[in-house]
Structure 1
Amino acid sequence: MNMMLRKSLIAAVACLSLAPALRAQQTTDSVYTVEVKDADKYRVETNRFGANWFAGIGAGAQMYFGDHDKQMRFVDRITPNFEAYFGKWFTPGIGIRLGANGYKIKGLSAWTGHNNAVAPGVNRGNYGGFIVDWNPATRTGKLYQHSNVNYPVFETEQQYIHAHADVLFNVTQMVCGYNEDRFYSLIPYAGLGFATTLERASTTGRHSNEVTASVGLLNRFRINRAWDINLDIRGAYVGDHFDQEDVSATPAGVPVNTAGRWGEGLLTATVGVSYNFPKRGWDRSTITTIRVNENVLNDLRGRLSDLEGQNSDLRRQLEEALNREVTPENVAAGMPLLVTFPINRWTLSNKDRVNLGFLAEALKANPKLVYSVSGYADKGTGSVKRNIFLARKRAEVVYNCLVNEFGVSESQLKKDSHGGVANMYYNDPRCSRSVLSKVAE
């Protein structure tokens, strides 16, 4: 019976092992993959940090909105402005930019306001700021000839640089979907910065340093994937002290703040170019479809179904063989009998005694048969000494049951033990905690 079961199991394993190979062979020429670009225009693949960087420069005009600049002609207030920056797009719609712009701004310095409680000793005729050709002795500078007021007004000029960090929002890409080759993009932005003058005010001898807040509109015109032309319009807010026109001096030369406006503004407009470094743009998401020939699938399903049926049948036969009750009808002379024991035990169960009784009847019916009663223990548990003891006790209890309980002649039995052994059957340690009775060799 053991030999038959072994052959059946080997056949089952062979069949099951051939199934993956068969499946691979059949699908090699019948399976193909189709990748289709995702049609969703709002979905793209996220790139690595080194992708979608850009840098640019620009030049244009600017105008400052100071305390008295409205008294200056519009054309006289316009001055050149230059800009340089670099940045990165994290998505088609959101990016950041770090840059600097500036050069010089022009304005007017007129009479400061007077508040005796705030600035005692400062008369209405004092002036402040970056006055051109300022003469401290006479407290005069370069007069502005086109003023429409009846008191002296002096020209001012200050060189500055404005560093800023902006968050960019490509509204066109957000609303209309991603298109790397789109010609025009509307990109509002907001940012914070810091503005400082490159020279000292003529009336106070101090630099101006102010935190700024900006909003702007970047108009991008794409030439190709590497180059863009940009029209950038920015409005920046600065503190009221940046042009220092509100800082007067007492006759003793001590700077005193005399005005109290909430702030001043700077409007710039530049035209320039920007370069987009590789890797540029975003890849579209893809939808992967795996297709298999339906006839091949049906054939594989049939083969697998057959193999599963054979496997189930073999499992059932094995289970029936292991659990089959020993009876006078199915015990034949010469058939071996395996009695198993729990871990660290050598007591016979009633079921084992029934099986041994049937074996005893077969032996007494064939007086010339001599059986070997061999005890075993599981090598994987217990010490060597303990396993030798268990194997001997298990052989003795089976031997004594056959002789004392069922009257088998001692001349028909040989008793021995083998101590702890490796798994003898089906890689199952339970089958090694046993006594095997078989025809003596």
Structure 2
Amino acid sequence: MKRIAILILLAVWCGLSASYAQDENIRTEVSKTIKLDTVEVDYKTRYTSSFVDNFFIEADFAGRMLMGSDDSGLSFGKRMRPGFSVTVGKWFHPDFAVRLNFGGNSLRGWSSGATGIYNVNNDWVEGYDPVEEYWKAQGVDTRNGYKQDMKYYELNADFLFDLYNVFHSAKRLDRRWTAQGYVGVGLLRVAKYHGMDDNTKVGFRIGVVGNYNISRRWGAHLSVGGTMTDANFTGEIGKGNRFSGIFHASVGLSYRLGKQGYRVIRLVRQSDLAALNNAIELVRNEHTIPGDTIEVVKERMAPGSLLIPSVVFYPNENEFNDELQQVNLFRIARYMMRYKDAKIAIVGNTGNTGEHLARNRAQKIRDILVNKYGIFPGRLSIRVYDVNAKYGVSGYDQSVNFTVAE
């Protein structure tokens, strides 16, 4: 009787030991997997291209309006004048470009000052205002001021920056709609016309551009901006520290010259590269079979078993580190390729994650296995539950896991 009791106790002890060893093995594998999956790699992306690449030219029809201190004496409609501009530029990076712009035509303003407020030169004498005399000859009453009718031209250098890429990098090289801001500096020259003397000033520019890419070469755009310059730009003196402004809006077409696009280089710090190499080496050492490729396990798992590894997502996102997690996806696909009749349940873990996000993550992994690795959809099912609680493990909070289906 004692012998039988001893044998029973020995059997129970062996069973508990085996169970503990199996549970400890699961915990060890989980620890290895989580350690592997959470390697953080800091990438820096660099875009390079030849100097002759990514050039563009533009032609615009513009409307311009003088915004000087006295110009409100004319209505909005009378001040708005047509103009043109032509541009050549180059994108050095998806985020920024430089351009040279030439444009002009005419401006119309209003002067409420008395006669003789213009600079005196060889043609002008003290007390004589040729601009006022011109408008008098046209039959205009100049007692309360007179119009300024100017021919002007401008040459500008602008720095453009992509507004969308400041906040988001998705499809930064291939978008139908784009928007840029720009800042720049230019030379503004008024020509001799209707009594006005020639005059050159420096202006500072700022504005925004909206683009629609019709094709890989052609685009249409709308631009709105302004230029600030010295109030003496119109030839008047006695304005003190005031400024004149030019509001401009334009529509036009752009054409991209030569080769477009960039060579994308991803730079990794040496310490991150070492960590990534160590993670890959860990996979190879654990799961390489002589004469074969990486294998998820060396023998078929029983139904209900939790397969190692998992696919770890960024916290509260439906995205993961592609360079690291594709290794784990391949290991699952390789298991299913070896065991052709095996069925897998793709489990979106709800531990510390909402059920909706967990299901979307599982669906994303299913689509990759089907579309990239050619796994038959009927062999895959989607489930959502708390993997940590069911299997008594930890560290799977932001993961999609795999179990052998019945």
TM-score, normalized by length of structure 2? 0.50
Return the TM-score normalized by structure 1: 0.46
Larger Rg: 1
